[in-house]
Amino acid sequence: MVSGNLFHCRRNSWPAEEYVGRTALQLLDFDGGSPPEQAWRRRLNSHANLLKEFSVTFMEAMRMMSLGLRLWSYVREEASHGRKAPIDPFTKEKCKPSASQGVPLGGMGSGSISRGFRGEFKNWHIIPGLCETSPIFVSRDGGNKKYSSVLSPGHHEGLKKCNDSGISSWDWNLSGQHSTYHALFPRAWTVYDGEPDPDLKISCRQISPFIPHDYKDSSLPTSVFVYTLVNTGKDRAKVSLLMTWANSIGGFSHHSGGHFNEPFITAKDNPPVTFAIAACETQNVNVTVLPVFGLSGEGHDSAKQMWDRMKQNGHFDRENFEAGTSMPSSSGETLCAAVSASTWVEPHGRCTVVFGLAWSSPKIKFQKGCTYNRRYTEFYGTSERSAVNLVHDALTKYRIWEEEIEKWQNPILKNEKLPEWYKFTLFNELYFLVAGGTVWTDGQPPVIDGKPSPGSNQQKSSKRGTRDTKQESVKDNHVKLTAEQVTNGGDLANGEEQSVSKYAAVHGPQMAKATNGLGSQEPIPYLLSKNGPENVGKFLYLEGVEYIMWCTYDVHFYASFALLDLFPKIELSIQRDFANAVLYEDRRRMKFLADGTSGIRKVKGAVPHDLGTHDPWHEMNAYNIHDTSKWKDLNPKFVYRDFAATGDMSFGRDVWPAVCAAMDYMNQFDRDGDGLIENDGFPDQTYDAWTVHGISAYCGGLWLAALQAAATMAHRLGDRPFAEKYKLKFIQAKAVYEAKLWNGSYFNYDSGTSSNSRSIQADQLAGQWYAASSGLPPLFDENKIRSALQKIFEFNVMKVKGGRLGAVNGMTPNGKVDETCMQSREIWTGVTYGVAANMLLHGMEHQGFTTAEGIFIAGWSEEGYGYWFQTPEGWTIDGHYRSLIYMRPLAIWAMQWARSPPKAILDAPKVNLMDRIHLSPQMIRAMNEINVRKIAPDNRCFPSSAFRCEC
């Protein structure tokens, strides 16, 4: 835990007055319209530069040629089955990524839509699609002044001029010079300071229901846009805001035909995937709709005709609410619709206009597996019509959401000891929990061919889930599945879903909605596990949008601090999934691409690398570069931390058998019996291109932490023999680790004799970070810990462009970047945050915040590379990225964890539980007889006070 004064930022990094005039800020300072003091900011006319992807060197390409050929063959094979390979470096997106991202829309796990800082909707993760931003129309008394413009500068990326009747015919009059974007996830403000009307100040506030510890509203697929209008002119102004939407579920699906639109005011039944846009009608705000218009205008009003009507009248016909359902679109036709909200704003008057957006895609279907219901269906049912109820409730509840968001954020935002950049970057990095391809199910098992799976709630819908009709056969003796679980079925033709859009005015009292009760469930082998006293559903998130694997565990170790702090029940649910997986074995064969060998998919006792790709929970370990059953970091990362952080004894007892199995499994890698595991001369850990020989600072340190953690957990759960066994192993292993790796100022990369064995690894103290974050005693003498961290700071951080990039993974003792492989020379964003957290835990506040600030400068600042809201796994020293929108940067929440540990750790007894594990005479005799290959422990490394806790 951090004590003392924290590192102060040199200046107020992002004063709002530098972006928005003070007068405008004061005028908008009502009803939440003024952006906060701490926020990430951009001018709308800022250039969105294209991002530069990394490339391998010639020597790296030669070393990886065999892997590349096997990977290319595998990618083609998966494509022949209509699937995307989890890792595919060969298929590039048609549109180059650019520095244009902003805060995404929606809660967690129900699909998301990203929004660029200039106003465009993009990067859909529901199923991709096409949509547009909000135009505005202003006319003033006397009719001598009229303004109309899309509220975004220029044409949006990805939109082409179809013809003059399409959206290119609209007025794109906004320069963006006096308009700014302000982001503080899960909210964002766009302030138009006199654009397009010089006498009108506008603030558009975007709000999504991301509320820590709220396991209902945080799952909802909805967002609200609150427009605050201030008229500074002498004339009364009629302001009409317009929200438009294209009916599409992704790619070119809007050309496929069969889509239809329908206006609504109150609820009414209708089928599949739906979108709903709405506006709140009040005494001062009049809402009208245009249910259908087309980009081409064939059979409907064209986009140009719709625009011209709005310019002329400022509203649509009220009779449009009676229009009913439109005719389905024909092939090649794109249906769109619009909701208009009009109001008069008096001279020096103010007004608020609220729009809502919701989407309903109740089922999530995996390519080789089951179809599950999303979490929000527990509260809104499985009808796609629920988008109507969702958008209505969003418009009536957004103020409550904002109150809860501010209550959560204000203690951090108002802490004057914290750097300004840290405050808003901490919250904005959470974008990944919405935009990182997250899936949150209702936790219920699927129903196969109308038969409930074991443990399912019999009163649930009989269509809880189905197996894919194209699923590959599974042999009974290879996978431990019940017969019902492998039965083929299907209720969706060719895996396709149709799209329906809803466009509305919403007003009046809150509508009642059907709520499904929460049902208990029995465990199903490795597919579904007990979820504790409360079923909060099952949660998946991708390693990254380029590495398509769910809950990649070696990376989740870093990212999970965010979930454990903000949604601990979700984190425990994920841990239960992995605990079940540890005890499961899948003997189906798979080929490992690094060396061309084959092995079984999932070995009993091994923590899986991931929960799968196309059939999560059923077909784990989608990663097939290396045999991860031989990795040395996965099992140690699994032990104790979440139990210590939550103090949940029921959870501890549930996962204890898996902890024992995971720890015992690792004994095979202690080949000389000294208590310490050895690496096997290939990249057998999260740095999967960086070879390790012998004892590793990274994996060995994690193993030391796991030994101490397992012994402590055993003691707390009353398993004395296990506690004794692993305390003894810890004592053995600690002495060997220090004797083999400590060189006087830091721990060597490994104990081998390769050219990089003495490299300074930024992540060398990952085990100590793990131990300290779990409330465990330090693994080493504090002087050694601080010495190693200072070495990392001076070399890996400050010798790389003065600390303005983060911490490079590897540095040679002579101060040069380690060029052993592509990963040794990269700066990993999440690892840098983890190193910074470790520094905070050991009182090195200046070094910690300076280290992490490098990620902000390179990734988030105006002078950086443009990686905001798409933070990559890492970048090179020249700023070329690898793997955008990546899980590991959530590790910034480990810094907050270091500053403010959870109550269970703070309230834990101030005694060292390791001291309470008394070794039996037999254990003491065994310890005295140990001869660790004639290596005598260095007393300076292992003082007698090593297990003494300060009270």
pLDDT of residue 910: 62
Indicate if the pLDDT at residue 17 is higher than 90. Answer: no
- Pairing, β 260-264 against β 499-506: parallel
- Pairing, β 187-193 against β 222-231: unpaired
pLDDT of residue 490: 29
- Write down the residue that tokens 């036709």 correspond to: 333
Residue 287 vs residues 211, 244, 280, 506, 812: alpha-carbon distances, Å: 30, 13, 7, 9, 66
Of 154-163, 363-372, 493-502, least confident by mean pLDDT is 493-502
pLDDT of residue 150: 86
- Write down the residue that tokens 């990620």 correspond to: 855
Q: Please, is 203 exposed, middle or buried when counting C-beta atoms within 10 Å of its C-beta (0-12, 13-18, 19+)?
A: buried
Q: Tell whether 84 is covered by a domain.
A: no
End position of a domain, from candidates 440, 463, 491: 440
The span from the CA of 537 to the CA of 543, in Å, is 20
In terms of residues, how long is the chain? 951
pLDDT of residue 516: 30
Q: Would you give the DSSP letter of residue 550?
A: B
Q: Tell whether 448 is covered by a domain.
A: no
Answer yes or no: do 427 and 544 share one domain. no
Q: Tell whether 74 is covered by a domain.
A: no
Query: What's the pLDDT band for 66 if we cut at 50, 70, 90?
Result: confident
DSSP string, 408-460: HHHHHHT-TTS-HHHHHHHHHGGGHHHHS--EEE-SPPPEETTEEPTT--TTS
Rounded to 5°, the CA angle 428-434-435 comes to 90
Q: Tell whether 358 is covered by a domain.
A: yes
Q: Tell whether 467 is covered by a domain.
A: no
pLDDT of residue 252: 41
pLDDT one-digit tens code per residue, 836-853: 999 999 999 999 999 999
Query: What's the pLDDT band for 38 if we cut at 50, 70, 90?
Result: very high
pLDDT of residue 147: 87
404 phi/psi in degrees, rounded to 5: -70, -40
Of 134-143, 168-177, 817-826, least confident by mean pLDDT is 134-143
pLDDT one-digit tens code per residue, 691-743: 999 999 999 999 999 999 999 999 999 999 999 999 999 999 999 999 999 99
The span from the CA of 698 to the CA of 765, in Å, is 7
End position of a domain, from candidates 389, 414, 440: 440
Indicate if the pLDDT at residue 593 is higher than 70. Answer: yes
pLDDT of residue 22: 87
Answer yes or no: do 569 and 421 share one domain. no
Answer yes or no: do 653 and 779 share one domain. yes
Answer yes or no: do 905 and 773 share one domain. yes
Average pLDDT of every residue of the chain: 82
Quote the radius of gyration of the chain (alpha carbons, Å). 29
Answer yes or no: do 608 and 718 share one domain. yes
pLDDT one-digit tens code per residue, 907-950: 876 657 677 767 666 666 665 554 433 333 333 332 322 322 33
pLDDT of residue 128: 31
Q: Tell whether 522 is covered by a domain.
A: no
pLDDT one-digit tens code per residue, 335-345: 788 999 999 99
Q: How confident is the model over 61-79, as a mean pLDDT?
A: 86
The span from the CA of 567 to the CA of 890, in Å, is 13
113 lies in which domain range? 22-51+96-155+164-440
Query: What's the pLDDT band for 483 if we cut at 50, 70, 90?
Result: very low
pLDDT of residue 909: 65
pLDDT one-digit tens code per residue, 867-908: 999 999 999 999 999 999 999 999 999 999 999 999 888 887
Q: In terms of pLDDT, which residue wins out, 683 or 166?
A: 683
pLDDT of residue 911: 57
Q: Tell whether 502 is covered by a domain.
A: no
Of 445-454, 512-521, 602-611, least confident by mean pLDDT is 512-521
End position of a domain, from candidates 387, 418, 440: 440
Indicate if the pLDDT at residue 8 is higher than 60. Answer: no
pLDDT of residue 925: 63
pLDDT of residue 889: 98
pLDDT one-digit tens code per residue, 82-125: 888 888 888 877 678 888 999 999 999 998 888 889 888 777 67
pLDDT one-digit tens code per residue, 307-320: 888 888 889 998 88
Neighbours of 517 (CB within 10 A): 8
Residues with Cβ within 8 Å of 441's Cβ and at least 6 positions away in sequence, in order, are: 109, 364, 372, 373, 374, 375, 537, 538, 539
Q: Which helix (H) or strand (E) holds 121?
A: strand 121-124
pLDDT of residue 523: 34
Q: What percent of the chain has pLDDT over 90?
A: 58
Indicate if the pLDDT at residue 478 is higher than 70. Answer: no
pLDDT one-digit tens code per residue, 749-786: 999 999 999 999 999 999 999 999 999 999 999 999 99
Half-sphere exposure of 476 (CA within 13 A, CB side): 4
The span from the CA of 694 to the CA of 700, in Å, is 10
DSSP-derived 3-state class of residue 579: helix
DSSP-derived 3-state class of residue 249: coil
The span from the CA of 181 to the CA of 20, in Å, is 10
- The answer to whether residues 175 and 27 touch, using CB atoms and an 8 Å cutoff, is no
Q: What is the CATH number of the domain that holds 847?
A: 1.50.10.10
pLDDT of residue 761: 98
Indicate if the pLDDT at residue 459 is higher than 90. Answer: no
pLDDT of residue 249: 42
- The answer to whether residues 536 and 569 touch, using CB atoms and an 8 Å cutoff, is yes
DSSP string, 44-65: TT---PBP-B----HHHHHHTH
Written as one letter, the residue type at 96 is K
Answer yes or no: do 425 and 565 share one domain. no
Answer yes or no: do 733 and 851 share one domain. yes
Of 4-8, 23-27, 69-73, 664-668, least confident by mean pLDDT is 4-8
- Pairing, β 881-882 against β 679-680: unpaired
pLDDT of residue 753: 94
pLDDT of residue 148: 87
Domain total for the chain?
2
Indicate if the pLDDT at residue 522 is higher than 70. Answer: no
Indicate if the pLDDT at residue 228 is higher than 70. Answer: yes
Q: What percent of the chain has pLDDT over 70?
A: 78
Neighbours of 260 (CB within 10 A): 18
Q: Tell whether 56 is covered by a domain.
A: no
The span from the CA of 628 to the CA of 650, in Å, is 29
900 phi/psi in degrees, rounded to 5: -140, 80
pLDDT of residue 295: 73
- Pairing, β 273-280 against β 874-875: unpaired
- As given in the structure block, the two tokens for residue 856 are 């902000």
pLDDT of residue 42: 94
